[in-house]
Structure 1
Amino acid sequence: MLKFPRTIRLDPSDTFVFERAAEPGEWAVSGAFVFWNRDPATLGQKQRVALRSGFLGIDSFGWSTLAVVTEATEAERQAMIERLAGHLMDKFGAPDANAARLAAEEEVAFAGSLCDHPPQTLLAVQRNVENGEIRERFRTLKPRLGAADADRLHAHASAFTFHEVEGDDEPADEVDLCGLIRTDGKTTDRT
């Protein structure tokens, strides 16, 4: 079974901190490409938050602080690629449909590579710009809930009732969700 990240909203904070919040349950990609060749100093405050800690919802092109590992079908993967390729053509001026599709395939494949965890594992991202390059670090949180509660996570989860933080390798970043996010030793970096 394929696994990909989906946006999740544990509280209404995403609607305040991002210019556009992703809807809960959207398929998501890292979204770092939105900031390529952009000077962070020229970004507004909400754009800087998205750069620092957002996953990009494929449908709304809105941002989510967290994503959740979710099983997907091949048809869903193909739909993700097509939808993202459309955005790359419309919003980012991809030179042609083939180039947009190849870039979308790469982004969706990378998103899938983050999901080598059990379903319902939460993912968080921390980004910074070093020497003009965007560096991403991904962290995981594992839920304590059973499979029967999984559907509830997409719309009604409470950040204070189901998180179990694993490990303590690194300090939390500025966006620490009330001290709940720390690495579990399973981080993925991308530059």
Structure 2
Amino acid sequence: MNLARAIHFDESDRNVFHSPARTGEWCVSGGFEFSNWTEGDLSGKARQAFSNGWLGLETFGRVTFVAVTKVEPAEVETLARSLANHFVHFYGAPSIDAALPVARDEIAQMSELCDEHDQNTLLTVARELTDTGVRESYRVIAAEAAGLEQFAIHVDQDDG
């Protein structure tokens, strides 16, 4: 099973997002955050997060690029519980038990996207507001075997 980790090529995410994701943390699209936004919400750093920010599952900060990598099944459940907790504390979900299926769905959607690509493939997200809600599209950047390893950070579970 694959998922995506935040990756940084420079310091720009620190300047464009209110809260940048940490390099190496697992990410999902996080488009749910914008489900009730209007054009009036799209200014400054909030616009940047809306336009092209993936959501980190530890800091709940945003990142521009993610890299596809393998994830262990046990880790997926921990991530789902963390996201469910986030839904309770920041979005008013009634309980972790009620939020857990939605969190699992978000992670499964991201995993399905990542499973279509080789390890170290880079992904970007682009969002736009439409009359029917938020539309997301993804850009895929194939890994260059020599170049990406200079930037990608892969964390083993044992690294803690």
* TM-score, L = length of structure 1: 0.75
Alignment of 1:14-33 (within 5 A): 14-33=13-32
Aligned counterparts of 1:27 and 1:16: Cα–Cα separation in 2? 21
Give percent identity, aligned residues only.
Answer: 35
Alignment of 1:1-191 (within 5 A): 2-115=1-114, 116-145=116-145, 150=149, 152-154=151-153
- C-alpha displacement at 1:132, in angstroms? 4.4
Aligned counterparts of 1:11 and 1:77: Cα–Cα separation in 2? 28
- C-alpha displacement at 1:85, in angstroms? 0.7
Q: Higher helix proportion, which one?
A: 2
- Dislocated runs of 4+, deviation >3 Å: 149-152
Instruction: Give me the CA root mean square deviation.
Output: 1.8
Asked whether the 8 Å contact 1:9–1:154 carries over to 2, the reply is: no
Gaps of 5+ in 2: 155-160
Aligned counterparts of 2:104 and 2:150: Cα–Cα separation in 1? 27
Could you say if the C-alpha distance between residues 61 and 132 of structure 1 is closer, same or farther in structure 2, counting changes exceeding 3 Å? same
Matched to 2:52, the amino acid is S
Deviation string 1:41-95 (CA, Å, 9 cap, x unpaired) is 1343101111010100010010000110010110111111011111111111112
Deviates more, 1:32-41 or 1:82-91: 32-41
Matched to 2:37, the amino acid is R
Deviates more, 1:127-136 or 1:32-41: 32-41
Matched to 1:15, the amino acid is R
Gaps of 5+ in 1: 156-191
Could you say if the C-alpha distance between residues 122 and 16 of structure 1 is closer, same or farther in structure 2, counting changes exceeding 3 Å? same
**Equivalent residue number for residue 188 of structure 1:** none
Aligned counterparts of 2:84 and 2:111: Cα–Cα separation in 1? 16
Asked whether the 8 Å contact 1:40–1:48 carries over to 2, the reply is: no
> Secondary structure in 2 aligned to 1:79?
helix
Could you say if the C-alpha distance between residues 131 and 22 of structure 1 is closer, same or farther in structure 2, counting changes exceeding 3 Å? same
* TM-score, L = length of structure 2: 0.89
